[in-house]
Amino acid sequence: MASTSPGSSPRSGTPQPTTQQGGGTNSPQSGMGAATTTSPGLGQTPDFGQQGGSETVPLPQGGSVYADTALNALIVNAPQPVYQQLRGVIQKLDVRRAQVYVEALIAEVDANKAAQLGIQWQAIAGSSGNNNAIVGGSNFGTGGSNIINLQTAIASGAAGGQALASGAITLPNGLNIGILHNVAGLATLGLLANFLQTQDGANILSAPNLMTLDNEDAKIVVGQNVPFVTGQYAQTGSTATVTPFQTIERKDVGLTLKVRPQITAGNTIKMDVYQEVSSIANTTNAAGIITNKRSIQTAVLVNNGQTIVLGGLMQDSVSSNDSKIPGLGDIPGLGALFRSNSRQAQKTDLMVFLRPIIVRTEGEGSNISQTQYDHMQGLQSGSQLPSQFGM
């Protein structure tokens, strides 16, 4: 076996063989792919989880291939014809890997409307000196929205004031109109009218994007890492020796996008996609935090540069609650004095779009990067505070 010539150094690219006829050792350097990933044709099954290290693989025709990970090179020890064949295969395989730039658009529109109208009254009728009296009225709802509960708080004086101040009894939201009258020296709530109309909405637009190699997993997470209580121990006796503790588990709450693009024939892209939007609900629960979650997991086939809709949700719900005095509440006009009505409508529209772009050359990647960079520069310029803020 002839010795390696200076021209076959691993740092010299893929040189022409300079060994003696009949065999020799050459070391073509890999320019793009990793030298540790050899194909089954070279005598080894690919191990995508391998990290570092070097290995010598024997060749059926005689000789061997040694992978040097430090230099990202393949050292070939083989006869001249075998080396020429291997060199051609290596040059075809060792090319710049294509990348895929993925743009996603998550649009969510929430709209809520609610209206409430209720009238409650209480009356006492009787003649002076007569021990008999007529009591009548209507009461709807619970807590502070109920006229009887409010009357009890008012009649108890200081205790009632404390109940209102502490929040034990709360007035209903909206416009509240009440009529008080004196009965046997006590202030009595004779009428309570409540008017409320609410409207709120949210327009959420998220546009995550990421770049990844062909047939490689990619993930982007934008949100918070929230602690969730999974267990706890509380000291139950004065002689307990165990210190109370809690166990928590942290989870990502926000926007998550996972993709694995695979470029196929005809510039089409097979994509495995998982997309999730989660948030912490405003409502509280004794058992712990409540989260809202919307997720999509699917596999799609899309052309290069084509926008595709992954899925969506259109939800429209209407709820109503009517309380009334039978018969009296149905009287046209006057019936409003004997009933309480509430309406609530909720509408949710959610759509998820995806657009992959194949990036094969350095120039294509630079153009995408420059476009996004200029866009961010424009956003930063537009978000500057006015000069009157002294900044």
DSSP string, 197-231: EEEEEEEEEE--EEEEETT--EEEEEEEEEEEEEE
What per-residue confidence (pLDDT) applies to 218?
94
Report which secondary-structure segment, H or E, holds 378.
Answer: helix 362-382
Question: Looking at 265-338, which runs of residues are DSSP E strands?
Answer: 268-280, 291-303, 308-324
Dist CA 379 CA 98 (whole Å): 30
Q: Which amino acid is residue 276, in one-letter code?
A: E
* One-letter amino acid of 368: I
Three-class SS state of 234: coil
User: Domain limits of the chain?
Assistant: 6-95, 100-110+200-318+340-382, 113-199
Q: How far is it, in rounded angstroms, from Cα 36 to Cα 173?
A: 69
The dihedral over CA atoms of 55, 58, 62, 66, expressed in degrees to the nearest 10, equals -10
pLDDT at 302: 94
User: CA of 64: how far to CAs of 29, 41, 50, 156, 344, in Å?
Assistant: 16, 13, 20, 98, 76
Determine the pLDDT at residue 317: 82
- The tokens describing 37, both together, are 């990933």
pLDDT at 40: 41
Q: What is the DSSP letter of 33?
A: S
pTM of this structure: 0.59
> Residue 213 has what pLDDT?
94
Token look-up 């009965």 returns 183
Query: From first to last of its 391 residues, what are the pLDDT tens digits of the chain?
Result: 333 333 343 333 443 443 334 455 555 555 555 554 444 443 343 343 344 445 677 777 778 888 888 887 888 888 888 888 888 888 888 888 899 999 998 888 878 888 877 777 666 555 555 555 555 566 666 555 666 666 666 555 544 444 454 444 566 666 777 666 665 555 555 666 777 777 777 677 788 899 999 999 999 998 888 888 888 777 666 655 667 777 888 888 888 999 999 999 888 999 999 998 888 887 767 677 888 888 899 999 999 999 999 888 777 888 888 877 787 777 887 777 777 778 888 888 888 899 999 999 989 989 998 988 888 888 877 766 555 545 4
- The confidence score (pLDDT) of residue 277 equals 87
